[in-house]
Amino acid sequence: MNFPILSSLVLLPTIGALFLLFSKDRNSNTGKYVALFTSFVNFLISIYLWYLFDPSTSTFQFVENREWLKGFVNYKVGIDGISILFIILTTLITPLCIISVNNTIKVRLRDFLIAILIMESLMIGVFCSLDLVVFYLFFEAGLIPMFLIIGIWGGERRVYSAFKFFLYTLLGSVLMLVAIISIYWIAGTTDIVQLYELGIDTKYQNLLWLAFFSSFAVKTPMWPVHTWLPDAHVEAPTAGSVLLAAILLKMAGYGFIRFSLGLFPVASELFTPLVYSLSLIAIIYASLVALMQEDMKKLIAYSSVAHMGFVTLGIFTITQQGIEGSIIQMISHGLVSAALFLCVGVVYDRMHSRLINTYGGLVSVMPKYSILFMLFTLAALGLPGTSGFLGEFLILMGAFKDNFLVAVIASFGVIFGAAYMLWLYRRVVFGNLVNKDLLKIPDLDNSEKFILWSLAIPVLFFGFYPEPLINTIEVSVNDLIEMYNFNLNMFGPEVKK
Q: State the residues that interact with other proteins by CB under 8 A.
A: 26, 67-70, 72, 133, 136-137, 140-141, 143-144, 147-148, 151-152, 158-159, 162-163, 166-167, 170-171, 174-175, 177-178, 181-182, 184-185
CB of 108 to other proteins, least distance (A): 8
Give the nearest distance from C-beta 406 to other proteins in angstroms.
Answer: 33
Report d(CA 182, CA 284) in Å as an integer.
Answer: 36
Shortest reach from residue 240's CB to other proteins, in Å: 14
Nearer Cβ to other proteins (10/283): 10
Of 248 and 380, the one with the shorter C-beta distance to other proteins is 248
Dihedrals phi, psi of 186, to nearest 5 degrees:
-75, -50
Instruction: Select 149 or 363, whichever has its Cβ closest to other proteins.
Output: 149
Q: Which C-beta is closer to other proteins: that of 52 or that of 107?
A: 107
CB 178 to other proteins: min, Å: 5
In the complex, least distance from residue 28 CB atom to other proteins, rounded to whole angstroms? 15
Kindly state the smallest distance separating residue 251's Cβ from other proteins, in Å. Answer: 14
- Cβ atoms of 291 and 222 within 8 Å: the answer is no
Our CB check for other proteins shows the closer of 126 and 327 to be: 126
User: CA angle, 423 as apex, 420 and 426 as ends, to 5°?
Assistant: 150
Cβ closest to other proteins, residue 118 vs residue 300: 118
Closest separation between CB of residue 142 and other proteins, Å? 10
Query: Which of 183, 372 has the CB closer to other proteins?
Result: 183
Q: Considering beta carbons, is residue 147 or 400 the nearer one to other proteins?
A: 147
Q: Which residues pair with 76 in a beta bridge?
A: 65
Give residue 340's Cα distance to chain centre.
Answer: 14
The least CB distance from residue 488 to other proteins, in Å, is 26
**Least distance between other proteins and beta carbon 136 (Å):** 7
Cβ closest to other proteins, residue 69 vs residue 405? 69
Cβ-proximal residues to 302 (8 Å cutoff; 6+ apart), any chain: 230, 286, 287, 289, 290, 293
Shortest distance in whole angstroms from residue 255 CB to other proteins:
16
Q: Which CB, 47 or 167, lies closer to other proteins? A: 167
